[in-house]
Amino acid sequence: MKTILALLFLITTSSLVAQIQRQFFVEDVDDIKYATVNYCVDNDANISEVTIIKEKTTYENTHFIEQLREYLLNLQYAPDSQLKNNCYDFTFEFINLKYKTKNLNQTECNACETFKTGTYSYEHVRYQEGQIKRTRKIQKELFRDERQIYEIKWLSNCQYVLIYKKMSEPRLQHLIGKEIDVQIIDVFDDGRYVYRSSADFEDKIYYGIIKKVK
């Protein structure tokens, strides 16, 4: 299949992670795949080294990944950038183009009732050790030493709202009371579902895959 190469990278000189295009909608994946790199910024504020982290990369289009690597190597930051003399991991997401607009029909939506309770995991290379435990009213997420608790409100069998209730990390305390709207937009026979989410505190749309394990 033809891949849509939308190399429209956006970047400022102050923050790489905040501005580089992370998501790409493509036609050469069935769902969502990832490519993770480690990049190093030298004393002159240039990206001097970019290494593909293979164990955190599931996207198989090596040509496109090499384009990303070469692009990063041509970046330069402001002389006073706080990113200098350090290395960072960054994960790109490659999302099937259909998920931009896909929604479930009523029959498919009704079948999602099974996702209202149970134990789940994120199918994401950055959250492989995380676990989700869900009752009809509460969702708990555990990531190593972090613990996040949400109230969960189901608007339909395929749409729910997560409300931040308790965060173990001090840096996340400001999110308490904020909401995330989640739509289930595809379901697989092996217990996985694809979601599209947005929050009331930022202007971004996220995509991911969650698998029911119990």
The closest of 184, 58, 195, 207 to 112, measured between CA atoms, is: 184
Q: What is the pTM of this model?
A: 0.85
| 1 pLDDT above the threshold of 60 | no
Q: What is the pLDDT of residues 25-54, one digit of tens each?
A: 999 999 999 999 999 999 999 999 999 999
Contact 77, 83 (CB under 8 A): yes
pLDDT for 58-109, tens place per residue? 999 999 999 888 888 888 888 888 989 999 999 999 999 999 999 999 999 9
Kindly state the tokens that stand for 36: 């993770």
Angle at CA of residue 146, ends 160 and 23, nearest 5°: 55
* Distance separating alpha carbons of residues 62 and 3, to the nearest angstrom: 12
Please write the tens of the pLDDT for every residue from 114-160: 999 999 999 999 887 789 999 999 999 998 888 999 999 999 999 99
Residue 201 pLDDT level (bands cut at 50, 70, 90): confident
